[in-house]
Structure 1
Amino acid sequence: MKTEIKLIDYLSTRRSIPAFQMSEPGPSKGEVEEMLTLASRVPDHGKLAPWRFIVYRGEERRRISEALAAIAMGDKPDLSDEMVKVENTRLTRAPVVIAVVSRAAPHFKIPEWEQVMSAGAVCLNLAMAANAHGFASNWLTEWYAFDERAYPILGVKPGERIAGFIHIGTPTVPPTERPRPELSEIVTWVGDEA
């Protein structure tokens, strides 16, 4: 039985779990579809849906990881054994990995920057939707999110960009807290203090 948690309590303790600290079970196809439905409920000026999803599951994650590793090892043939292992497991660390793909483009009315921010909001919503379903999540962008040679392997089309890879699975360790910025360092008040 899942425990209900108030949104304010969740937000005050929300934490990511590193992808390599996740394991099976991952979400079912139905749970992933529910997560994607929730993730899509973001600010979207002009109702453009300037993003889409690619869901990586099962053995296909291994094939894609190995193809990505071939690019990395081609660029750096002297990679250590440890880094070769890292490259070969890029999409196999968590049971499910979902790419949030930005389709932001020039528009006569909607600034491209707003479209990009909408994709970022989708990433955060997706991470939180995974948590709401009882799974751990981690939003990552690694080298292959920015290397267009990897895009055909990942299923990314010309003109698209990766906003993030959301890794989803069952945590193998409890979340730990990390330092957060002091409000006095990041907030500027303008106007009355009332």
Structure 2
Amino acid sequence: MKKLKVESGVIIGYCASEKRSPSYVLFATINPFIINYVLTHRAVVDLKIRIMNGSDLNEASLVHQAAFPRQSFSYEWLECNLKAYPRFLSFVAEINNQIVGYIVWAQKSGFRAEAVLELEQLAVSPQFQGQGIGRNLIEKSLPLVKEELALRNSKLKHIMVTTRADNHAQALYKSTLGAEVEATISNLYSADEVLMIARNV
């Protein structure tokens, strides 16, 4: 275990237990009376995925602003998507009642017996990225989307998603959805975009 440096009563380094996976990190904070130890892991154990509602828009718009600095009118963007239910289905990720991410699914080309969905947008607050929240948003919201489709006698056929050609999220969409790159569109928004499709999901 590495020795931690202490300044002004607060441990500012970290130590990794040799008995645990390197992905486990032990953080410690000192105050005059209590030493608190918090064991964290890349999997977020207190994460809750639920459908977005109107009272979430303020917090969710802050996530949008931080995740997509080139875009504007964050509140209005999320609000119009939310109001477009059931074509658009929006979900949030919460940790300790704080919204740290969201996902928006959209049905394409009408309400069909076999629905084609687009993963319209996936966002996680920068300070919470790299903790599996995006993966959880996809994997835990998709069954809820399928339940919504079933209410209208529909089932999921394909999922499409576009993302920047240099975005590492391509690996996430492949591992969670089985999506594969089918086309590259040059200079679509701020850079080249790839169209990925997960077939017969």
TM score, norm. by length of structure 2: 0.26
> Which structure shows the higher strand fraction?
2
> Which structure shows the higher helix fraction?
1
TM score, norm. by length of structure 1: 0.26
State the structure with more CA Rg: 2
Greater relative contact order: 1 or 2 (C-alpha under 8 angstroms, separation 6 or more)? 1
